[in-house]
Amino acid sequence: SEYKIKPREELLSIMRGPYLQNLLGDSVTIMWRTNQPSNSMVEFYSELENRSEVIANSISALHEMKLTGLQSSTKYFYRVKSGDVVSDWYSFTTPKNISDEFSFIVYSDTQLNFLRHHEIADQIRKHQFDFILHCGDAVQRGPRNDWDTEFFNPLKEILTGKPIYCAMGNHELNSQNYYLNFSNPAMEHESFYSFKYSNCFFIFLDNPLAAYPDRKFLTDFKPGSIQYDWLKNQFSSKEAQESDWIFVISHVPSYVFGTQEAYSDCKKTLVPLFEKYQVDFSFSGHVHGYERGNVNNVNYVVTAGGGGALNKPSAVKLSNLPKFNITYNYCHLTVKNKTLAMKVYDIKGNLIDEVLLKK
């Protein structure tokens, strides 16, 4: 006789996260992914308040919940629920309205070498910091479903308590996965956005078109484009004008000191704005390694050492090149009022560069 074996029903489980987005002001966004569509709920409380719940009526496999009305400089505990599945308890601390001192991480180009990314993440965890800035190329191929293996898994113990902000890289291919996996501050155009944090203003640009001008599906940033007009408005905004420090984060660099010529569209379009509006730091990726230089009082840093295969250095050595190191790396910055300290580390935790600036 024949026996029909009924397929085993897959149990609901949390496959990714939870991870934090937009821990700014009095709100935070919490995201996670389940292996099948389910409902979403976040339970949270502070030491001063009773437990609260935020429940979404929609059914989804990628969950995004925003908590609002949070108190500044307060530690909150939270856990997420989907169906009968409940995560562990995690915590985050909301920022002060104006912080005397805070720190953040900058790195990029993690791509497909997730073992290297794990090593970089292990070093990052040793530092005190408030958030992470990623200059793009989070994964090798944006449309593929490798985001957990290549990006989120190495960072999973960090992102439960610290938010990450990620620029669009060329390897993301302007794919829908980028827009689904991140909840960036500007909902009308999520690939370029800005935010104020204490006495600093951060601007994220979408500029892979500079490296691949024939790819018409990439976002334009040249004069006359929506992004260019938006960028000028950001620089002239009250938030920027009242900030002590201005940072621009993009994937393709405006200057590449030690490996190849500058990307001309960035140099022609962005550099004049950086100089006019006195940008302090332009952080980029794309050229795998570490580089730092200063042109007309703008500090240009390439920190593309998150895991992608390292570039071969050029034989040309430029006289205005303070630092150039083809190695896996990340940057740790501390801002204390009008003093900024940047330290750069390799994958083993060795210090490879440091800068101290005062205004």
Give the whole-angstrom CA distance, residue 106 versus residue 335: 13
In the chain, how many domains are there? 2
Instruction: Determine the 3-state secondary structure of 156 from DSSP.
Output: helix
What is the C-alpha separation between 307 and 327, in angstroms, rounded?
10
Q: Which residues are within 8 A (CB) of 247 and not within 5 positions of it... i.e. 6 or more apart?
A: 133, 200, 201, 202, 203, 279, 280, 281, 282, 283
- What CA–CA distance (Å, rounded) separates 143 from 141? 6
**Do 231 and 83 sit in the same domain of this protein?**
no
Structural domain including 248 reads 101-358
Q: Are residues 277 and 179 in the same domain?
A: yes
- Domain boundary, last residue among 59, 93, 127: 93
The answer to whether residues 349 and 275 belong to one domain is: yes
Residues 80 and 190 in one domain: no
- Assign residue 276 the CATH number of its domain: 3.60.21.10
Q: Which of 92, 109, 123 is CA-nearest to residue 20?
A: 92
Please tell me whether residues 201 and 229 are part of one structural domain.
yes
In a domain, 161, yes or no: yes
Does 100 or 40 have the greater pLDDT score?
Answer: 40
Look at the pTM and tell me if it is higher than 0.75.
yes
Task: Please indicate, yes or no, whether residues 60 and 105 belong to a single structural domain of this protein.
Answer: no
| Last residue of one domain, picked from the residues 42, 76, 93 | 93
Q: List pLDDT tens digits, range 113-164.
A: 999 999 999 999 999 999 999 999 999 999 999 999 999 999 999 999 999 9
**pLDDT of 261 over the 70 cut:** no
Residue 114 near residue 148, CB atoms below 8 Å: no
- Residue 4 in domain: no
The enclosing domain of 74 has a CATH number of 2.60.40.10
- The model's pLDDT over 275-294, given as tens digits with 9 standing for 90+, comes to 999 999 999 999 999 999 99
- Residue where a domain stops, chosen among 43, 66, 93: 93
Comparing CA positions, the residue from 250, 241, 1 lying closest to residue 108 is 250
Q: How far is CA 21 from the centre of its chain?
A: 10
CA distance 107 to 327: 12
Closest C-alpha to 284, from 272, 267, 309, 296: 267
